[in-house]
Amino acid sequence: MKNWAVVRRLYPHIEEEVTLEMNGVEFTGFATICPYPIEVGRAYPVSIGITILDDVIIQELHEPKKELERIDSGFAYNIRGVIQADSLDAGIVLTDEELFRDYAYLIGTYVELKVDRISVEFLASKSFIKF
């Protein structure tokens, strides 16, 4: 899914680490694809996904909540939101068709999902908006 995200911070020590803001939600992700130079303060078209390296841990929540909670200073997050057919809406929409297909019985349910990182793909268009 194509979205627009504003680059809030770039990191000199880990080239792929980037802090973005989408829909008022700020998060640090891992830029898996970045086919052109990016600059702080500009918005770019991106696709956002998730990476889970080990077991999938999804827990139902007792109250509706949409948020991203960073775990320590790494890339891992606890993501809280509502399961949709192919995504998780946590204020930003995170897609992984294969993963969420396995949890179709939870569609419409608020859950917490632990991910090892949020993956960011800067899309081929070099269009940007300066903020």
Q: What is the pLDDT of residues 36-49, one digit of tens each?
A: 999 999 999 999 98
Query: Which has more pLDDT, 79 or 95?
Result: 79
Q: What is the pLDDT of residues 34-90, one digit of tens each?
A: 889 999 999 999 999 899 999 998 999 999 999 999 999 889 999 999 999 888 999
Instruction: Look at residue 1 and tell me whether its pLDDT is greater than 60.
Output: no
Identify whether the C-beta of residue 48 lies closer than 8 Å to the C-beta of residue 93.
yes
pLDDT of residue 125: 67
Number of domains the chain is built from: 1
